[in-house]
Amino acid sequence: MSGNPMDNEPILVADSVTRRFGGLVAVNSVDFTIPEGSIVSLIGPNGAGKTTFFNVLLGVIDPTAGSVVFRGRRMIARPERIGFESLIWVLPAVLVGLLAALLAEAGIVSGRLLALLGFITLLILIGSLLLGIIRPVWYSKGLERIGIFRSARPNDMVTAGVGRTFQNIRLFHNMTAIENVLVGMHTQLHGNLLEAFLQTPRVKAEEKAAEQRADELLTLVGLRGKGNEAARNLPYGDQRRLEIARALAAEPKLLLLDEPAAGMNPKETLDLVALISRLRNDLGLTILLIEHDMKVVMGISDRVTVLDHGEKIAEGTPDQVRKDPRVIEAYLGAPAA
Amino acid sequence: MTALPATSEAGGARVPMGASLKPLLRLVVPAVFLVGAYAFMGPEQFVNALTRGAIYALIALGYTMVYGIIELINFAHGDMFMMGAFVSLTFLGQILGLTGSITDIARLAPLLVAAFFVSMIVMGAIGVTIERLAYKPLRGAPRLAPLITAIGVSFILQNIVMLKYGPFQTNSPKIFPSFDIVIGSAKIPALSVFIIVVALSMMVALQLFISRTRLGRAMRSTAADRDAAQLMGVNINRTIAITFLIGAALAGAAGVVNGLQYGVSRFDDGFQAGLKAFTAAVLGGIGNTVGAALGGFIIGFIEVGATVMGFSRWGPAIVFGVLVIVLVFRPSGLLGQQLGERA
C-alpha cells in the first residue's frame, strides 16, 4: 500500500446526518467520510448514537436530515414524495377502467368488447404491481426524474457494495455454514424463478461456482472443512468468523463490522485483528469498525472518530484521540475539581 | 443406597437407546400405517385416499409457506384453490369449448399441460396482486389486522366468482378419459395415478427449489430472520411476492386436479377444502413444507377411512378430532417448524 490511505478518494461521504426519535436527537448532524482502502473506527460510550448512525449508513432507518453518498451515488436521504409511488401503480388501471366505464355509459362499447376492456384494466393493474416488485433500473431512474426519492433499503446498500456483520450474532442458525455464506452471495447470483424450476445449465453452473467460492471464503476466515456443520453448532469465535465470511460473500467494497471482538478471548481477538488487516491489505477492502475493545481499535485504525450524545466530539489518529481531553471526559466523566 | 446408582444407570442406558430408535421409528411408523391402511381399505380406496390427500397437500403447501415467511394464516388461500378450478373450467370448457373426455393422447397431453400452465400462471398473478394490495400495507400492523383482511379477501373472491358463475355448481369438463388400470383384482383409475404423480412431482420440485436454489435460500433466510436476510442483500418484498406466487400457483394446480377428478365446482368449494388443508398444515407443523404434504395425505386417509367404515358424514369431525389430539401431544405439529425457526 503506497502512502497514507487517508489521502485516498472517499468511498463514502455522510453529510450532516441527523436522526431524531421524537424529542431525542440520537445523531446530530454528523459529517463522516471514509477514504477508500482505509480502516476507520467509530467509538463512543454506550448510548452515544453509534448504532443509530450505523443503521442510517446501512439504510435500516431513514435519516431525519442529511444524506449519504456511496461511491459517487446519493443513496440515502430523507425520502421525498414516497406516497406518490403507489399512485403510479394504480393510476393507469384506474384511468383505463374509468374510460371503459364512460364508454359503456355512452353506449359506445358493450358485451364482449366491454369485458375485454375490463380484462385489460386488470392486466394493467397486475403489470404495474409486478413492475413495482421487480423494480427495473429504468423504473427507479424514472421515479427519480419526477422527484420521488426512495432512500436505499439495506438490500440496495448490499447491492451497491456495503457488507456488514452484527453486534449480536445473527446467523441463520438452522442452516449450515456454507448455506449461510450462499445466502450472503444472494446479490451475486442471478438465477430467476423460471430458471430455478427448469434447472437450466446456466443455473447449475452458477450454483457450482457459488459453492466453490463459498468454500474459498470459509477457508479465508479459517473455517475450512466446517461448511456442512449447522451454524448453531459452531463455537462462538467460529460463528463470528462465519458472519464475516457471509458478509464477504456479497463482494463488498466497504465492510462494516459492528463490535466484532465482543465476547472474544484475547487469543481470538488477536486472530481477528490479523484477519481484519488481511482483508484490507490482501482484498483491498475499506473497513469501518465499531468497537469497544480499545486494543483492537488503537492497533489497526488509520483514523478514529468519537461520538458522544449523538455528536462528533473528536476525530484523528489513535494517538491524537487518546490524548483528547474531551474524549477522556466523555469516557471517564469530568475530572474532579 | 445401592438402588440409587442402579436406577441412574438404567436411566442412562435408556437415553441413547431411545435416540438410536428414533430414526428407525420414523420409517416404521409410516410403513405400518400405510400397510394397515392398505389392508383395511383395499387398493381402490387406498388410491382414492392418496388422490384426495394429494389435493389437500397441494393446498396446504400454500398455507404453510405463507405462514412460514410472514406468519400470516392466509384464510383466502382456500378460495385461491376454488378460483384455480374456475380458471381451469373457463379455459377448457368456455374458451376451448371442450365437454367430454379426450382419448387421443396426442391431443390430451398438450391440453392438460396448457390447463395447468394457464391456471397456475393466472392464480400466481392473482396471488401476488392480493399480497401487494391487501397484505403488504399491513406488514407492520398487529397480527390480527392481516388475519381479518385475509377473511375479507376470502369473501371478495367468493363473491366475484358467485357473481360471474352463479350460486350453483358449474360443470368442469372431465377431459381425462375414465379408464382403469387393472392390477390383479384391483381396478385403479388412471386419473388417480396421474393426479398422484403430478402432485408428488410438484412437491419434490418445490422441496428441491427451497433447499437448493438461490431464491429458495432467500425464502428460508427471510423466514428465519427477516432483518438479517435483508442486510445480506435479500430483497424481502420480492421474496415474499415469490412465496405468494408459488403458493397460489400450487393452489391453481390443485384446482385443475379437482376439476378433472370431480367435474363440478361451486363458489364456496374453497371454504371446506381450505379449512381441511389448513388443518393439514397445522397437523404437519405449520411452516414446514414436508409436514404440510404429510398432513394433507393423512387427512385424505382419515376421510376415506371414515367413509370405508360407514361414517362418511363424520369425516370432518374425525379430521378435526385427530387435529385436536395431535396438538395436545405435539403442539408444534408432527414435524415442527422447518422453513423458519420461530415458533
Q: Which residues of A touch B126 (CB under 8 A)?
A: 126
A12-21, A243-252, A291-300, B42-51: least confident range: A291-300
**CA–CA dist B103, B100 (Å, integer):** 10
**Contact at CB, A250 and B245, closer than 8 angstroms:** no
Q: Which residues of B touch A186 (CB under 8 A)?
A: 214, 217-218, 232-234
**pLDDT of B159 higher than 90:** yes
In the stretch 124-143 of chain B, residues with CB closer than 8 A to chain A read: 125-126, 128-129, 132-133
Residue B314 has what pLDDT? 87
Q: How far is A197 from chain B (nearest CA, A)?
A: 7
Query: What does the H/E/C string look like for A138-200?
Result: HHHHHHHHCCCECCCCHHHHHHHCEEECCCCCCCCCCCEHHHHHHHHCHHHCCCCHHHHHHCC
Residue B21 has what pLDDT? 67
Mean pLDDT of B59-74: 93
Name which of B262, B258, B259 is nearest B277 in CA terms: B258
Q: Does B118 lie at the interface with A, CB-CB under 8 angstroms?
A: no
Better pLDDT: A114 or B76: B76
Q: Does B97 lie at the interface with A, CB-CB under 8 angstroms?
A: no
Better pLDDT: A134 or A233: A233
Share of chain B above pLDDT 90, in %: 61
**pLDDT of A262 higher than 70:** yes
In tens, the pLDDT along A47-81 reads 888 888 989 999 889 999 999 999 888 888 888 88
Confidence band of B342 (pLDDT split at 50, 70, 90): very low
Task: Name the residue facing A172 among B209, B224, B245 (closest C-beta).
Answer: B224
Better pLDDT: B266 or A83: B266
Q: What are the structural domain ranges in chain B?
A: 45-268
Mean pLDDT of A19-42: 91
A89-98, B130-139, B156-165, B332-341: least confident range: B332-341
Instruction: Give kind and range of the element (H or E) at residue A283.
Output: helix A266-283
**Contact at CB, B214 and A196, closer than 8 angstroms:** yes
- CB-defined contacts A:B, below 8 A: 103
Residue A44 has what pLDDT? 85
Closest residue of chain B to A190, computed from CA coordinates: B214
**pLDDT of B313 higher than 90:** no
Share of chain B above pLDDT 70, in %: 92
Mean pLDDT of B47-66: 95
The chain-wide mean pLDDT, for chain A, equals: 87
**pLDDT of B10 higher than 70:** no
A4-8, A204-208, B190-194: least confident range: A4-8
Task: Name the residue facing B218 among A130, A173, A183 (closest C-beta).
Answer: A183
Residue B250 has what pLDDT? 96
Mean pLDDT of B74-94: 94
Question: What are B265's strand-pairing partners?
Answer: B170
Q: Does B219 lie at the interface with A, CB-CB under 8 angstroms?
A: no
Share of chain A above pLDDT 70, in %: 98
Question: What's the Cα-to-Cα distance from A45 to each of A16, A87, A164, A320, B332, rounded to whole Å?
Answer: 21, 45, 21, 18, 43
Alpha carbon B330 to its chain's center = 20
Residue A263 has what pLDDT? 82
Question: What are A316's strand-pairing partners?
Answer: A304
Residue B6 has what pLDDT? 37
Residue A217 has what pLDDT? 92
Q: Which residues of A touch B217 (CB under 8 A)?
A: 175, 179, 182-183, 186
Q: What is the pTM of this model?
A: 0.81
Name which of A320, A287, A314, A325 is nearest A30 in CA terms: A314
Confidence band of A176 (pLDDT split at 50, 70, 90): very high
The chain-wide mean pLDDT, for chain B, equals: 87
Name which of B229, B214, B209 is nearest B61 in CA terms: B209
Q: Does B232 lie at the interface with A, CB-CB under 8 angstroms?
A: yes
8 Å CB contact between A40 and A34: yes
Q: Which residues of A touch B236 (CB under 8 A)?
A: 155
Q: Which residue's C-alpha cell is 400405510?
A: B34
**pLDDT of B343 higher than 60:** no
ipTM: 0.75
Residue B31 has what pLDDT? 86
**Contact at CB, A186 and B133, closer than 8 angstroms:** no
